[in-house]
Amino acid sequence: MLSNYAELFLICAIILMPIFYETSSRFRYYFKFFVYYGVVILNSFILIPVFLLRPCNVRNLVFASKFCRVVSPIVSIKWEVRGAEYMSADRAMVMVANHQSSLDILGMFDFWHLMDKCTVIAKRELFFAWPFGLAAWLSGLIFIDRRHAQRAQTAMNESTKMLIEKRTKLWVFPEGTRRSTNEIHPFKKGAFHVAVRAQLPIQPIVYSSYCTFLDDRAKVMNPGHVIVTALPPIETKGLTSDDIPELIERTRNAMIETFKATTKEVENRFNLSGHGMGAAAGKGATVVSRIAAAMPSAMVGKMATPAKQAEAVATLIDAEPRKIGSLIGTGDASPIKEPTAYRRKDVQRD
């Protein structure tokens, strides 16, 4: 009897899932993150025995990334990497990246093979999220206790010798906490102290804004395109601790400039506004004119000015703000095509 109920529940879930995915942006949001975390946890279970053959070896992360990068096509995110030659340099360096979401790690899976020997500074709490925490530790991740600054600094200093001897890259999110506010926040000094003390170059990594497809508050995650840019390394040879504030400012300014430029490029390429909420600058008038052209001439005659045209057209369009990632204009309706059965109805097409 129980097996019959289980089969019935499974059949209903299979039937209803495409319907919910098609009609509910909130369901799509949670479903995509469920797939992301589910694949990572499953791979952790599978790979722990393999990692035990060479524990704490950072190259385990390259192996793991091959299994985890399959998530990106499933959740419809495409990562475009620029400056791969800087990432792949066979030298020790401190890589600093902006931190917007846990999706940053998903992006790293896509290009970890370029970095080859790279480890990550992670908060200590993640170690206790087993099986992921155990798999991460066996892959050479460095866990720090952010509540105790001195302990965190000591852990980072102890990793310096390994970086130099094995020519390993250290990945740090200097903002500390991930923030999806469409800006790069002030940096903490830890990573820069390590770089200056070991005289290692700083390698800035910039993810373009996720605001073109992700809204955590509204629980919306549409297909997205992210440009990941590796900037030329910033040398620290000859610098001292007194130079760290200026080094941080120079690094952050370069990253902010690239962040704004690549985000704008994504917006323009896919006809998105600054936060993915509507038409890009200069595109709205085109859409209004096309709709006005399709209206009866008698109605258009009453709208002498473009402002009145726009006002009248707005009454014909759903007044609710468009969801993040929906596009207007000709061509594909999204940066990445979803399976036809699951394609969003909230995407407007010409």
126 pLDDT above the threshold of 60: yes
Range in 2-16, 67-81, 147-161, 283-297 the model is least confident about: 283-297
User: What's the number of CA atoms in the CB half-sphere (13 Å) around residue 164?
Assistant: 13
The ranges assigned to domains in the chain are 9-270
Q: Strand pairing partners for 97?
A: 205
292 pLDDT above the threshold of 70: no
Please give the mean pLDDT across all residues of the chain: 78
**Mean local confidence (pLDDT), 276-303:** 43
User: What's the number of CA atoms in the CB half-sphere (13 Å) around residue 86?
Assistant: 21
Position 336 confidence tier, pLDDT thresholds 50, 70, 90:
very low
pTM: 0.74
> Residues 196-226: pLDDT tens digits?
988 999 999 999 999 989 999 999 999 999 9
124 vs 340: which has the higher pLDDT: 124
Predicted local confidence at residue 5, as pLDDT: 67
Distance between CA 215 and CA 133 in Å, rounded?
27
290 pLDDT above the threshold of 90: no
Distance between CA 212 and CA 324 in Å, rounded?
6
113 pLDDT above the threshold of 70: yes
297 pLDDT above the threshold of 60: no
Q: Residue 234, SS3?
A: strand
315 pLDDT above the threshold of 80: no
Smallest CA-to-CA distance from 91 within 123, 62, 116 is with 116
> Residues 172-201: pLDDT tens digits?
999 877 777 888 999 988 889 889 988 999
On whether the CB atoms of residues 119 and 170 are closer than 8 A, the answer is: yes
**Mean local confidence (pLDDT), 246-263:** 95
> Residues 54-98: pLDDT tens digits?
888 888 999 999 999 999 999 999 999 999 999 998 899 999 999
321 vs 132: which has the higher pLDDT: 132
Ramachandran quadrant class, 206 (left: phi over 0; alpha: psi -120 to 50; beta: rest): beta
Predicted local confidence at residue 131, as pLDDT: 87
Predicted local confidence at residue 339, as pLDDT: 38
Position 2 confidence tier, pLDDT thresholds 50, 70, 90:
low
Cis peptide before 131 (omega within 30 of 0): yes
Position 3 confidence tier, pLDDT thresholds 50, 70, 90:
low
